[in-house]
Amino acid sequence: MTTEALWETIARKTKKILPKDHFIRSAMILAGGTSLAQGLAIIFSPVLTRLYTPNDFGILVVYASLLTMSLNFTSLRYEFAIPIPEDNQTAIDVLSLCIGLVFITALLAVLGVWLFSPKLIQVERFSVLEPYLWVLPVGLFLAGVYNVFNYWAVRERMYPVIARTRISQGISGTLTQLGLGFISFGPLGLLLGQIVGECAGLGTLAKLFWKKNKHCLRSVSMANLRAAARRYKDFPMYQTSASLLNSAGLQVPPLLFAAYYGVEVAGWFYLTQKVLAKPISLVGASVSKAFLGEAARLAKEPRKLKKLFRDMNRRLFLLGIVPSILLAVAGQWIFTFVFGAKWVQSGVYVQVMAFVFLFKLTTDSVINFSIIERQGFSFSWALMRLSLVVIGILSAAWFGLSDFWAVVCFAVAMIVSYIIKYIMWDYVVRQMIVQRETTC
Residue 194 has pLDDT above 60, yes or no: yes
Using a 10 angstrom Cβ sphere, with 0-12 exposed, 13-18 middle and 19 or more buried, the burial of residue 400 is exposed
Of 7-11, 94-98, 169-173, least confident by mean pLDDT is: 7-11
Among 232, 265, 293, where does a domain finish? Answer: 232
Among 188, 203, 232, where does a domain finish? Answer: 232
Among 202, 232, 262, where does a domain finish? Answer: 232
pLDDT recorded at residue 402: 95
Interacting residues of 52 by C-beta distance below 8 A, sequence separation 6+: 177, 181, 186, 187, 189, 190
Same domain as 68, residue 216: yes
pLDDT recorded at residue 337: 93
pLDDT recorded at residue 418: 93
Rounded to an integer, the average pLDDT of 338-344 is 93
pLDDT recorded at residue 182: 93
User: For the whole model, what pTM was predicted?
Assistant: 0.84
pLDDT recorded at residue 165: 82
Percent of the chain with pLDDT over 90: 40
pLDDT recorded at residue 346: 94
**72: confidence class by pLDDT, cuts 50, 70, 90:** confident
What digits encode the pLDDT tens for the residues 403-432? 999 999 999 999 999 999 999 888 888 888
pLDDT recorded at residue 301: 77
Same domain as 174, residue 284: no
Same domain as 139, residue 275: no
Percent of the chain with pLDDT over 70: 83
Residue 354 has pLDDT above 80, yes or no: yes
What digits encode the pLDDT tens for the residues 227-245? 999 998 888 877 777 778 8
Residue 24 has pLDDT above 70, yes or no: no
Same domain as 192, residue 337: no
pLDDT recorded at residue 158: 82
Residue 43 has pLDDT above 90, yes or no: no
d(CA 69, CA 243): 9
Same domain as 212, residue 343: no
Same domain as 434, residue 310: yes
**370: confidence class by pLDDT, cuts 50, 70, 90:** low
Residue 149 has pLDDT above 50, yes or no: yes
97-125 burial string, b = 16+ CB within 10 Å, else e?
bbbebbeebbeebbeeeeeeeeeeeeeeb
pLDDT recorded at residue 32: 53
Same domain as 86, residue 33: yes
SS (H, E, C) the chain: CCHHHHHHHHHHHHHHHCCCCHHHHHHHHHHHHHHHHHHHHHHCHHHHHHHCCHHHHHHHHHHHHHHHHHHHHHCCCHHHHCCCCCCHHHHHHHHHHHHHHHHHHHHHHHHHHHHHHHHHCCCHHHHHHHHHCCHHHHHHHHHHHHHHHHHHHHHCCCHHHHHHHHHHHHHHHHHHHHHHHHCCCCHHHHHHHHHHHHHCCHHHHHHHHHHHHCCHHHHCCHHHHHHHHHHCCHHHHHHHHHHHHHHHHHHHHHHHHHHHHCHHHHHHHHHHHHHHHHHHHHHHHHHHHHHHHHHHHCCCCHHHHHHHHHHHHHHHHHHHHHHHHHHHHHHHHHHHHHHCHHHHHHHHHHHHHHHHHHHHHHHHCCCCHHHHCCHHHHHHHHHHHHHHHHHHHHHHHHCCCCHHHHHHHHHHHHHHHHHHHHHHHHHHHHHHHHHHHHHC
Same domain as 226, residue 135: yes
pLDDT recorded at residue 335: 92
pLDDT recorded at residue 36: 64
pLDDT recorded at residue 5: 52
Residue 279 has pLDDT above 80, yes or no: no
Which has more pLDDT, 6 or 69? 69
Same domain as 290, residue 432: yes
Rounded to an integer, the average pLDDT of 143-154 is 91
Same domain as 182, residue 125: yes
How many domains does the structure of the chain reveal?
Answer: 2
Same domain as 280, residue 215: no
pLDDT recorded at residue 427: 87
Residue 120 has pLDDT above 80, yes or no: no
Of 10-14, 113-117, 133-137, 139-143, least confident by mean pLDDT is: 10-14
Share the mean pLDDT of the chain.
83
**308: confidence class by pLDDT, cuts 50, 70, 90:** confident
Residue 125's domain spans which residues?
A: 1-232
Same domain as 160, residue 53: yes
